[in-house]
Structure 1
Amino acid sequence: MDLKDLIVTPIYFSLILFVAFVLRPYFTTETTRKYFIPALSARLVAAILLGLLYQYYYNGGDTYNFHTRGSEIIADVFWENPISGLKLLFSNGNNIKGLYYATSEIPFYRDSSSFMIIRIAAVFDLITFSTYSATALFFALFSFSGLWVLYNVFIYYFPRQTNLLAYSVLFVPSVIFWGSGILKDTITLGALGWLVFGIHQVFFLRNGVFRNSLIILISSWLIFQIKIYLLLAIIPAIMIWFFLRQISSIRNIVLRSLVAPVLLIIGILAAYYSAINVTRDDPRYSVDALAKTARTTAYDIAFWTGRSAGSTYDLGEMDGTFVGLLRLAPKGVLVSLFRPFPWEIRNALMAFLSIESFLILLLTIYVLIRAGGIRFFRSLSNPVIFFCMVFSLVFAFAVGVSTYNFGSLARYKIPLIPFYLSMLVMILDYSKSDRNIGDAQATE
């Protein structure tokens, strides 16, 4: 960050908030309006703070390389020669005649997922004069938009929980902070929210089929390009959500009991084969190579990231087999949701992560006790609740066993947190409704 940030960023910060105030009536209701500006503002501020953290605490890092050694170079080439700039912007890591001087300065040029972030940032750099913090504001805006539409999907089914769902989706500190800068996580988080929104609109509500189908395609493409393993977690959850919804729509209890097992098996098989086809052409995430990829990624992150800070963790030996990976599933879920424990804190950032994780653990225990065993399992019959649970646990397992570093895990796990916390809120609401029905029947 330099003097340019102090001049350009306040202008765009004010402009984004002004437009948000103007558009707020079109995207909110009387009950959700109060959350719109605070949730957006928190992300805009976090985008700036994250840049300062990487510059003055980490002395570099991914977000620095994505911009200073990535998008800024593309923007400079574009202003010198728009044709060359467009070639660089739409390249796929291939050699471009006459542009070696530029591509050789971009460390992530041949890393397709990282270069996608660079290309997105470069587009915003063209209107922000390559100002890091101003470009980061647009990343934060996209992340906010995805979470806002996700929030609206959840309150559609649980309208009595607009307050608690707002805190679960929009105001979790780690999600705000790590999901607001020039990072892969920011784009995939926003795209994930838009994907769920598009699926809900097209397949469940039949609203704006063409427009929302485009939203599904674009958001899926972004996730596929940046973090394909996120699709491995969300697609099965969506497929199961869809089939459970079909089952719950059958009013005849006898017919439902006969059809439910068949539809559920079809849903599970459809989810499995959909996930396989998504990663079929990617040698890293095919079913055969998934365990080896997880092992390599975990050990690489543990070795190269945070060793001096003492933030690595170990779930046990990974033998590179899928069965061996599944044995670590409980530990993977545990570390993603509830660790680091207080006695594992080694630095300030781990302390904040530990506090948040401990609060999530307390909330989980409270919900389990409050709902009770029978009502808890009954709540899982709700398609939305089951959808959130499947995605949360599958993704928690995936990032938990493939990270082995608490600092990196804080970033990687943010997509699951809004779904997991929202699931807990929904279970409370569902169990309360179930309890009220039982009390009413008891008094008859």
Structure 2
Amino acid sequence: MEIKDLFLTPIYLLLLYGIAFAIRPRVTNGFTRKFFIPGLSLKFLGAIALGVVYQFYYGYGDTLNYFNHVKIFGRAFEESPTIWWHLMTSDGVYEPLTYKYAIQMPWYRAGGEFVVVRLGAFFGLLCFHTYTVVGLFFALLSFSGIWAMYMTFVRIQPLVYKELGIACFYIPSVFFWGSGLMKDSICIGALGWVFYSFHAVGVRHRSIIRGLILGAFFSYALYHVKAYILLCFLPPTLVWLFNENSSKIRNKTLRLLAKPVLIIVGAVIGFLAISSLTDLDTIGEESQKTAKNIYAASGTEGSGYQLAAADGSLGSIAKIAPQAIVVALFRPFPWEARNAITLLSSLEAMIFLFVTARIIYQAGPRRVLALISSTPVLLLCFVFSLVFAIAVGMSSGNFGTLVRYKIPLMPFYAAGLYIIQAKIKQAVKRRPTSLATLRTPARV
């Protein structure tokens, strides 16, 4: 961060808030309106806080490395917009025109990282290459996807709009790690738009052209930044769309055959997502090697963790899956926290554990499973969350990195919990009425 951050950040905040207030009437209603500006403000706060933490607490990190690349793009633009454009459209090949700048960028040939750099370089032109303002643009992009996710959930379960707002906007890890100049901001935003597009095209059957364009664009972006997120999301989405539309298939035989086929296809895609993560290496030997290295770097007294070894086979993944799910959803435990960041993550995980345990205790495991299996959106939320938890839980070896990797599942898992809770409350409210009806003597 530089002096210009102090002067330009307030100006751009006013500008972005002005745009947000102008857009708000078009994308909100009387119920959702109150979440728009607070949700956006948390994203802006997260983007600024992320930069402050990395610069003054860690002193180094991915976000600072991204910005160093963005500044190189800035110097290239000052020399020649043509050089800048060639860097923006480069496929990782060193060329005489761009060589002196490309050679300065360690991530020039790194696919996902260089996507973030190019987007940051574009935003940098709009704000004189100011780190904090670039972070605000990333926060705005991330918020747009989160808002699309929220509106999709509200359309599916409108009575739970308050709780869904909490799930989408108020989880600290999501608005902190998913707001600044990072891969995670692009991923959580793109995932929200993909979810919105699938619902618009496959369930509502409205704005089909726009939905297809948005879905294709953000799926493409997500695939090139972190492909395993898209691969984990596709299998439960296929089943979700089938369940939402199965009643429209008049041929009973076709309807009975379609679901197993989708489940098999989804299982294959899910296995590929878990066993071959693009950005985290494989879950087998390479991921175990990576996890051990991270654990060793963390130290036994640090924030590292270890799971049982996996060789990448389906059997070994199934064996280690329960441990990975617990790690991703409910750890670190408070006594495992070694710094302020990990402590906050542990408190968040404890809330998830408490709410999960309370719902299972109140309703019973069978009833919870019955609700999930009979409600398409719940099946999507929990299958995606569990598959993704297995993937990131097995591929990380450090709680500090895990908290970043797992943020795409957190809004879906929290939304699923809130929807189950609402359905249980609705059932309890209906029960006295039905009992009273049964006890009332019939009139002759």
Q: TM-score, normalised by structure 2?
A: 0.92
Matched, 1:349 2:341: yes
Alignment partners' CA distance in 2, 1:349 and 1:289: 27
- Residue 263 of structure 1: CA displacement? 3.2
Contact 1:145 1:190 in 2 (8 A): yes
**Which of 298, 305, 330 is equivalent to 1:338?**
330
Alignment of 1:349-428 (within 5 A): 349-380=341-372, 381-428=374-421
Which stretch shows the higher mean deviation, 72-81 or 116-125?
Answer: 72-81
Alignment partners' CA distance in 1, 2:313 and 2:285: 7
- Residue 358 of structure 1: CA displacement? 0.5
Alignment partners' CA distance in 1, 2:339 and 2:283: 32
Counterpart for residue 107 of structure 1: 106
Alignment partners' CA distance in 2, 1:210 and 1:249: 22
CA displacement, residues 230-255 of structure 1 (integer Å, 9 cap, x when unaligned): 112100011111112233567x9xx9
Alignment partners' CA distance in 2, 1:114 and 1:51: 18
Counterpart for residue 258 of structure 2: 263
**Counterpart secondary structure, 1:401:** helix
Counterpart for residue 308 of structure 2: 316
Counterpart for residue 97 of structure 1: 96
Alignment of 1:108-123 (within 5 A): 108-123=107-122
Alignment partners' CA distance in 1, 2:229 and 2:64: 24
Give the direction of change, closer, same or farther, for the CA distance of 1:200–1:44 in structure 2 (3 Å limit): same
Which stretch shows the higher mean deviation, 413-422 or 204-213?
Answer: 204-213
Counterpart for residue 166 of structure 2: 167
Counterpart for residue 442 of structure 2: none
Matched, 1:208 2:203: no
Give the direction of change, closer, same or farther, for the CA distance of 1:308–1:53 in structure 2 (3 Å limit): farther
Alignment partners' CA distance in 1, 2:170 and 2:256: 38
Alignment partners' CA distance in 2, 1:11 and 1:382: 46
| Letter in structure 1 aligned against 2:257 | V
| Letter in structure 2 aligned against 1:50 | L
Counterpart for residue 131 of structure 1: 130
Alignment of 1:29-108 (within 5 A): 29-68=29-68, 70-108=69-107
Would you say how many aligned residue pairs link Structure 1 and Structure 2? 435
Which stretch shows the higher mean deviation, 215-224 or 292-301?
Answer: 292-301
Alignment partners' CA distance in 2, 1:226 and 1:437: 47
Which stretch shows the higher mean deviation, 100-109 or 353-362?
Answer: 100-109
| Letter in structure 1 aligned against 2:304 | T
**Counterpart secondary structure, 2:309:** coil
Matched, 1:16 2:8: no
CA displacement, residues 238-290 of structure 1 (integer Å, 9 cap, x when unaligned): 1111112233567x9xx97x7765332122123245568999xx97659x955
Alignment partners' CA distance in 1, 2:307 and 2:230: 24
Structure 2's unaligned 5+ residue stretches are 439-444
Alignment partners' CA distance in 2, 1:309 and 1:222: 38
Q: CA RMSD in A?
A: 2.4
Alignment partners' CA distance in 2, 1:344 and 1:290: 24
Structure 1's unaligned 5+ residue stretches are none
**Counterpart secondary structure, 1:328:** helix
Give the direction of change, closer, same or farther, for the CA distance of 1:201–1:321 in structure 2 (3 Å limit): same
Contact 1:188 1:223 in 2 (8 A): yes
CA displacement, residues 329-353 of structure 1 (integer Å, 9 cap, x when unaligned): 0000001110011221111111111
